[in-house]
Amino acid sequence: MATIRLGKSDLHINPIGLGANAVGGHNLYPNLNEETGRDVVRTALDLGVNFLDTAFIYGPGRSEELIGEVLKEKGRAKAVLATKGAHKFVDGKVVMDNSPAFLQQSVEDSLRRLQTDYIDLFYIHFPDEQTPKAEAVGALQRLKEQGKIRAIGVSNFSIDQLKEANVNGYVDVLQSEYNLFARDAEKELLPYCEANGISFVPYFPLASGLLGGKYTKDTTFRDLRANNPRFQGEAFARNLDKVDRLRPIASQKNVEVAHVVLAWYLKQPAIDALIPGAKKPEQVKENLKTLDVQLTDAEVEEISSIFK
């Protein structure tokens, strides 16, 4: 399976990774089965999906622990492991901390939970309001020089925060929201990443399932989507009409709408990798069908124009 280089780093990954927030993310998804989560990670590794994306806040901590158990069993060298830190609990509330001392402790804690002596890619998960971004990234650079991490990422940073964080050229990866319904990153973030050798990894690539092609106008929601304007009334109907316009392309290529959408992202400048999630092992196999989709330039432009 062909691999790509992540940013300016020496990490080489399968462009279809695994977003592991449903592996042990009990605070995000109710009634998760941990052995199923382990099987999701095992299946990913067996199929050559080597880019695993997790975070402290998934669990909290439990996702890292489960992945660490599987890597102990399968072999650490099989994975390019990404995790994130910034969240901490103060008097029962979650706050963000990007201070060098906290980031260093976060890396040490993640190493312990993951049962490894190095993390391939460590992200600052969210910016805080007080720490200078170059100072925070500088702390990660020192950890990189010590061999505890191999590459540096930031997540949910604005363009100004990203520029400040990357003042010394240390940032390898930016993770941020981006999908066909949420394209603000095209204005400044994606061009900056392309110009500075930073890989952009989008999250919510299927817009909470809206771009998966599985919903109809009669679908109702009882979770956070119920309060999202994108999933309500006439806006929901219009959005589904846009998704329906992708079905001929998917049918012609004998894949699902979701595969066409994911393949479109990989055609965008600076987007080198995707991290679709999976709650079941068979979903990992489904995600990999994206690599079989070859979009023409005309199809890329057609999809872009549908969602302008």
Q: Which of 179, 145, 167 has the alpha carbon at shortest distance from 258?
A: 179
- Chain centroid, CA 18 distance in Å: 8
**Interatomic CA distance for residues 111 and 61, integer angstroms:** 11
Which pTM does this prediction carry?
Answer: 0.95
Is the predicted pLDDT of residue 193 greater than 80, yes or no? yes
How do residues 143-185 score in pLDDT, each as one tens digit? 999 999 999 999 999 999 999 999 999 999 999 999 999 999 9
The pLDDT value recorded for residue 226 is 87
Six token digits for residue 22: 């449903």
Q: Which two tokens stand for residue 239?
A: 């959005």
Query: What six digits make up the tokens of 94?
Result: 């979650």
Among the listed residues 139, 173, 131, 168, the one whose alpha carbon sits nearest the alpha carbon of residue 156: 173
Q: How confident is the model at residue 1 (pLDDT cuts 50, 70, 90)?
A: low
Q: Kindly state the tokens that stand for 106.
A: 């976060």
Burial of 149 (0-12, 13-18, 19+ CB in 10 A): buried
3-class secondary-structure state, position 119: strand
Per the prediction, the chain carries an average pLDDT of 96
The single residue listed with the structure tokens 């956070």 is: 224
- As a whole number, mean pLDDT of residues 299-304 equals 98
Helices of type H across 173-231: 189-195
Give the span between the Cα atoms of 48 and 80, in whole angstroms: 11
According to the 3-state scheme, what is the secondary structure of 121-186? EEEECCCCCCCCHHHHHHHHHHHHHCCCEEEEEEECCCHHHHHHHCCCCCCCEEEEECECCECHHH
Query: CATH second-level architecture of 4-209+269-295?
Result: Alpha-Beta Barrel (3.20)
> Per-residue pLDDT averaged across 46-54, rounded?
97
Q: Which helix (H) or strand (E) holds 208?
A: none
Amino acid at 24: G
Q: What is the mean pLDDT of residues 197-226?
A: 92
What is the average per-residue pLDDT within 255-279? 96
pLDDT in tens, 77-134: 999 999 999 999 999 999 999 999 999 999 999 999 999 999 999 999 999 999 999 9
Q: What is the mean pLDDT of residues 2-24?
A: 95
Q: Give residue 225's pLDDT band: very low, low, confident or very high (50, 70, 90).
A: confident
Active site residues per annotation: 58
Q: What is the C-alpha to C-alpha distance for residues 266 and 269, in angstroms, rounded to an integer?
A: 8
- Read off the pLDDT of residues 231-252 as tens digits, 9 standing for 90 and up: 999 999 999 999 999 999 999 9
Would you state the pLDDT for residue 216?
Answer: 94
Please list, in sequence order, all residues whose beta carbon lies within 8 angstroms of the beta carbon of residue 206, skipping any fewer than 6 positions away: 179, 212, 258, 261, 262, 276
Q: From the CB of residue 135, how many other CB atoms can be counted at a distance below 10 Å?
A: 14
| Confidence label for 30 from pLDDT (cuts 50, 70 and 90) | confident
Contact 126, 94 (CB under 8 A): no
